[in-house]
Amino acid sequence: MTMCQDNEALKLMVQEALQYTPYGKVADYIPALSRENPGTLSLAVSESGTTCATAGDTSEMFTLQSISKVITLALALMDQGEEGVFSRVGMEPTGDPFNSIIKLETHSPSKPLNPMINAGALAVTSMLQGSTVDEKLGRLLTFIHELTGNTSITYNEEVARSEYDTADLNRSLAFFLKQHQVIEGDVENLLELYTKQCAIEVNCQDLAKMAYVIANRGIHTASDRPVIPLHIARIIKTFMVTCGMYNASGEFAIKVGVPAKSGVSGGIMASIPHKAGIGIYGPALDEKGNSIAGMKLLESLSQRYDLSIF
């Protein structure tokens, strides 16, 4: 049985995973995120491009945060090619927290180890084509509209502003990268674009549809057209496996075994190659910044539907 044929079981699994929310905490280092409701969990599944099963309140909106790193990476690879992107950011997991600065200094050259940590994502965002912040953000939003089929998606100004005003660690990372010629241009413009990109607002159904395109080798089923070139869809799925859950990626690969990317808003986007896209929202986070109930839910889904790619 596929997940979509089993909607009642999905609802039960969401109920079970909800029990874990009291053990997590909402992110509060971005002040606007501290107002999220920690006791909620929702799930949407897409097995063909549209969502075919949901559980919980999937109309709730949340910001992409680090999930956006996957999308900007795809766009930067389409803009600059593999050589351009990987001359400024590496391909190796770090084993460190997502906002860590330490390996920038201890590694030479000091290019960030991968595009999923904040330092690497800042470098990737700096490579998006466009002459102004608005133009680059507009291109990113258009890309997300194509992936989801939802042209009303935009960014949450309050969340973007709240992060921009408090992003001193990310600012430090960006200045460090500029000093070492990994990025060029104005750091404040980069921070503005990065915080707006992280504040792009979706619901679980949008996330599931985006995840499905990535799972389906970059092809949008409605139009039967590649939105992401095949080799780029493969690269981003591989980063989701090796670095998508930060310093929990190894344990996640063993327990769940699917390409996935989390964000500190509590979203998780999982792409099961050739099978399904999953969107989850559960804002109570574990100590590594991943949705605590969302991780449990993915573990149950993987066991019941034999989703592991390994």
Query: Which residue ranges make up the site for ligand DON (CB under 6 A)?
Result: 65-66, 98-99, 118, 163, 170, 198, 262-264, 289-290
- CA distances (Å), origin 184, targets 124, 187, 189, 237: 12, 8, 11, 28
CB of 170 to ligand DON, least distance (A): 5
Between 198 and 243, whose beta carbon lies closer to ligand DON?
Answer: 198
What is the C-alpha separation between 241 and 93, in angstroms, rounded?
Answer: 10
* 89: annotated active-site residue: no
CB of 173 to ligand DON, least distance (A): 9
* 212: annotated active-site residue: no
Residue 291, marked binder: no
Q: Which of 42, 46, 66, 265 is catalytic?
A: 66
* 23: annotated active-site residue: no
Residue 305, marked binder: no
Q: Which of 164, 246, 281, 305 is catalytic?
A: 246
CB of 289 to ligand DON, least distance (A): 4
Between 143 and 164, whose beta carbon lies closer to ligand DON?
Answer: 164
Contact 289, 97 (CB under 8 A): yes
What is the C-alpha separation between 276 and 267, in angstroms, rounded?
Answer: 17
Between 37 and 151, whose beta carbon lies closer to ligand DON?
Answer: 37
CB of 24 to ligand DON, least distance (A): 12
Per-residue HEC secondary structure of 50-106 comes to: CEEEEECCCCCCEECHHHHHHHHHHHHHHHHHHHHHHCCCCCCCCCCCCCCCHHHHH
* 196: annotated active-site residue: no
- Nearest alpha carbon to residue 297 among 37, 284, 97, 59: 284
Residue 246, marked binder: yes
Please list, in sequence order, all residues whose beta carbon lies within 8 angstroms of the beta carbon of residue 223, skipping any fewer than 6 positions away: none
Between 241 and 264, whose beta carbon lies closer to ligand DON?
Answer: 264
* 178: annotated active-site residue: no
Known catalytic residues are: 66, 69, 194, 246, 264
Q: Which residues are annotated as a binding site for substrate?
A: 66, 118, 163, 170, 194, 246, 264
